[in-house]
A and B are shown apart, each in its own frame.
Chain A
Amino acid sequence: MSVLVAYKRTCLLLLVMALGIAFAVTDLRVATWHALLPLFEWMETTPMGVVGKTWGAVFALVQTVHLLAMALLGGAVLAADGRLLGLVLTDQPLQQVQAQCHRVWLLGLLLVVASGLFMACGVALKVYYLEVFWFKMLALTAGVLFQWFVRRPLVDHYGAVSQGSLRLVAVASLVIWFSVAATGRWIGFSG
């Protein structure tokens, strides 16, 4: 029992991973997908959906904001993870770099989600049937959770944790955000 209390974060993580695997391999995943169809149908009827479908110029403008926000977010990730790997900004204090990059990352994330929501409304039924869209949503969710519940707490304990664990987390973070960007671009090429 004391081990569960002392390692509650690790236990919670294992529980979340087990639930995620159970969700992925059971019928619950397909049932959830079917249950979400009315939501996506409704999204196309919202003002954002109508504007996105009707005025291509507005959609293109919002898409530009989306891509610039992705560049902002990606830049923050590259700088923060590059510092953890000891590749860039090594003359700056690690925690100062992480704190400043986190603020930029947060701004990028807010812009990405807001512009992405608008774009998704315009092409809701198209993306609903695209497998890669769901992988992007999965990667984005994993990236946000990873940033908040794994990466930041580890950086907060800088000095008490090993350099190897910081580097592994940096590599995993880069892989997640690369996947978010790559699957996002894939959506653009699909359908």
Chain B
Amino acid sequence: MNASAQAPANRATAARDVQLAALLASAGVLVAAAMYWWGEIQSVLELLEMAYG
């Protein structure tokens, strides 16, 4: 494969790498945020239950 043919292939591989990293990072962010906010909402609900029954 010559250099001119390699360049588009490299760009496509780089795009796949960037996209896969973005998907994994986004999934990680969403899972971590869901766990954090779920815990916070549960603790507020417990406080409200203690205060008002």
Contacts and interface: CB of A to CB of B under 8 A. Distances in A.
Nearest to A142: B29
A93 B4 CA distance: 29
Contacts of B45: none
B47 interface: no
Nearest to A168: B26
B25 A146 contact: yes
A162 B26 contact: no
B26 A13 contact: no
B29 A146 contact: yes
A161 B15 CA distance: 6
Interface string B11-50: 1111111111111111111100100110000000000000
A154 B18 contact: yes
Given A142-B29, A172-B29, A176-B29, A161 B13 contact: no
B25 A162 contact: no
Given A9-B18, A157-B18, A161-B18, A175 B30 contact: yes
A14 B24 contact: yes
Interface in A19-55: none
In this complex, which of B16, B19, B25 has the most chain A Cβ atoms within 10 angstroms of its Cβ? Answer: B25
A185 interface: no
A184 B12 CA distance: 40
B22 A165 contact: yes
Nearest 10 CB-CB pairs, A to B? A160-B15, A172-B26, A172-B29, A157-B15, A161-B19, A9-B21, A10-B21, A154-B22, A150-B25, A168-B26
Given A153-B22, A161-B15, A176-B33, 9 more contacts: A13-B24, A17-B24, A150-B25, A153-B18, A154-B18, A154-B22, A169-B25, A172-B30, A175-B29
